[in-house]
Structure 1
Amino acid sequence: MERFERRNLMNWKRSIIKENAKVSLKNRYWFSYAVSIVAFMLAGGICNMIWTVYSYPAWENMIRHFRQLIEYETYYGEIDGFGSFSQPDFFTAMAIYHDFPYIAIFSLLTILLGIFVGTAMRVGSCRYYVRKRFGNTNFNSLFSGFQEKWGNTIIVTFLTKLFCVLWGLLFVIPGIVKKYQYYYVDFLLSDNPDLSGTRARQISRMLSDGEKGQLFIFDLSFIGWSLLVALTSFLTFGLSFTFLTPYVASARAELYIFVRNRAIDAGQLNPVELNLSTSPHPQAAPAC
């Protein structure tokens, strides 16, 4: 059995979290990669790839079409006094351009797929990576988001993302703060899909209290790998990031397990609420 390093300190270190993530992936990387690529494809990855291939020339044609309208002014009415198209003219141009309805419909379908399927896949992926940490690599964990309280999962995660977006629209910094306040919501739902949105966000705020800056740096610490992925994406048709996903997801699962158990040890969280045993160390890792 793999041996994971544990500390008695209340704080966590990125180096230990990442090292434990690497250990948890030992002999399981390619299986985890398969899980991640299936999650990506079903969550809208296929649509995004088609959209990338199709939309670029479509938008290019649309821009060229607008230029022709501006140049000749014969396709549609007069240009207003400010040298730009009026609002009715803009929508008329959209109607004239034959690809626009397809772009609009495909965009809407991609958004809906991300909300109703992508959300469940993210929560299922969280469950897989948390359980993998303790040796359970059941592929069906990926689809648990559809099997248990799918509607609640959709509502909770959608509203949580919406709160973050709205805060981000008001002010950038508060939007980032909210993102890290709710960092663990998907993981909490993977443990207990019955959690209400209010309670899931409350627990996540408690788990991230005083550590939002550390969480930001934790995510930022993967930037080197992300740059490598970006540089090699043209060789893999944009799929190079999927090779990094198992490592990043495993590290985040390690971090969640640490802060979850820390809160339980401190009496701040009842393990029963997360469908865990009443042991002081639910699903505890082997000690060094």
Structure 2
Amino acid sequence: MWKRADLKERGKIAFQRNYWRCVLVSFVLMLFTYGSSGSVRTTIGEDNDISYNSSHTEIYEDYEGILSGEQSGDHEGTIASWILGGIAAIILSGVVIVMVLLDVFVFQPLEIGGCRFFLENAYGTADAGKLLFAFKSGYYGKVVLTLFLRGLYIFLWTLLFIIPGIIKSYEYRMVPYLLADCPQMSRKDAFRISKEMMQGQKMDAFILDLSFIGWHLLSAVTCGLAEIFYVSPYVNATNAELFLALKGTYTYRSY
């Protein structure tokens, strides 16, 4: 049975042993796989409120202009507005599609590389080039499909209720580490073994995550600097230790 204090202590030792590389790898993962920081989300939210209010006013003014144009028989402005709106919608759709493709084919495989780096770093000094592990493993397509389905399953469960989605996210938590440890593993085995590994461990893993709340609050106070230079690599190293602990007690031994 693993203990939080032991995992965090081993993670801290491993991360501090290879400090700058751990910071670099964690920073890349923060940028491309973990989403925006809280401060960025807040800024975007404020900008959206301003944009909504100004857009609402512009739409009202445009509507008045359209009515006056119709009354005068001049529809050229209305047609031009519709054309520009259509072009904007196409561009926005294109941007969304590109971002989704980047996430599936580039950013998610980087997560596997990050897991591989921290797994190797638990035993010695890993190289930051391990971030590209998924691209060089020879199993890139299998990794991409497995991670895509993991995200899809969690999303579909979350549509039912938030709680089942959270449970599934913990159930599939070890999938990236399994692929980092054994990239030739089949998709079916990755989901099955992760589920078996996390059986009876989900609440403890959840509490482990909660134990970092104080550190994340400190990161907010330091405008994210603590997250970059300490908290994120510390958390990543501890999560790698969690996988190694679960792997050590895994009784099915099917890989």
Q: Which category of TM-score, normalised to the shorter sequence, fits these structures? A: 0.7 to 0.9
Q: Equivalences for 1:35-114 in 2 at 5 Å?
A: 35-41=25-31, 60-61=50-51, 63-70=53-60, 73-76=63-66, 95-96=84-85, 103-114=92-103
Report the residue type matching 1:269 in the other structure. Answer: R
**Counterpart contact for 1:44–1:110, Cα < 8 Å:** no
Structure 1 position 177, deviation (Å): 1.0
Unaligned runs of 5+ residues in structure 2 are 69-77
SS in structure 2 at match of 1:144: helix
Question: In structure 2, do the counterparts of structure 1 residues 135 and 113 end up closer, same or farther at CA, with 3 Å as the change threshold?
Answer: same
**Counterpart contact for 1:44–1:114, Cα < 8 Å:** no
Question: In structure 2, do the counterparts of structure 1 residues 76 and 123 end up closer, same or farther at CA, with 3 Å as the change threshold?
Answer: farther
Q: Equivalences for 1:201-240 in 2 at 5 Å?
A: 201-233=191-223
Task: Tell me how large the CA RMSD over aligned residues is.
Answer: 3.3
Distance 1:223 1:257 in 2: 23
Question: In structure 2, do the counterparts of structure 1 residues 180 and 53 end up closer, same or farther at CA, with 3 Å as the change threshold?
Answer: closer
Distance 1:18 1:212 in 2: 17
Distance 1:219 1:93 in 2: 49
Within the candidate set 214, 227, 235, 1:241 is matched to 227
Distance 1:56 1:193 in 2: 42
Unaligned runs of 5+ residues in structure 1 are 1-10, 79-88, 274-288
Question: In structure 2, do the counterparts of structure 1 residues 12 and 155 end up closer, same or farther at CA, with 3 Å as the change threshold?
Answer: same
Within the candidate set 95, 106, 129, 1:140 is matched to 129
Question: In structure 2, do the counterparts of structure 1 residues 93 and 232 end up closer, same or farther at CA, with 3 Å as the change threshold?
Answer: farther
**Counterpart contact for 1:127–1:141, Cα < 8 Å:** yes
Determine which structure has the larger helix proportion and give its number.
2
1:119 aligns with 2:103: no
Residues 224-275 of structure 1, C-alpha deviations (whole Å, 9 max, x = no match): 1112222322xxxx56533321100000000100100111xx3x114xx2xx
Q: Using the TM superposition, name which of 95-104 and 135-144 deviates more.
A: 95-104
Question: In structure 2, do the counterparts of structure 1 residues 27 and 44 end up closer, same or farther at CA, with 3 Å as the change threshold?
Answer: closer
Structure 1 position 60, deviation (Å): 3.5
**Counterpart contact for 2:171–2:198, Cα < 8 Å:** yes
**Counterpart contact for 1:69–1:76, Cα < 8 Å:** no
Question: In structure 2, do the counterparts of structure 1 residues 230 and 95 end up closer, same or farther at CA, with 3 Å as the change threshold?
Answer: farther
Distance 1:18 1:129 in 2: 13
Within the candidate set 10, 14, 19, 2:4 is matched to 14
Distance 1:96 1:58 in 2: 19
TM-score (norm 1): 0.72
Aligned residues: 240
Residues 74-101 of structure 1, C-alpha deviations (whole Å, 9 max, x = no match): 24569xxxxxxxxxx9xx7795498665
**Counterpart contact for 1:62–1:97, Cα < 8 Å:** no
SS in structure 2 at match of 1:67: helix
Distance 1:100 1:199 in 2: 41
Identity, % of aligned positions: 30
Match of 1:269 in 2: 253
Question: In structure 2, do the counterparts of structure 1 residues 96 and 54 end up closer, same or farther at CA, with 3 Å as the change threshold?
Answer: farther
Residues 108-142 of structure 1, C-alpha deviations (whole Å, 9 max, x = no match): 33332222111111000000000001104122211
Question: In structure 2, do the counterparts of structure 1 residues 158 and 75 end up closer, same or farther at CA, with 3 Å as the change threshold?
Answer: farther
TM-score (norm 2): 0.81
**Counterpart contact for 1:167–1:175, Cα < 8 Å:** yes
SS in structure 2 at match of 1:209: coil
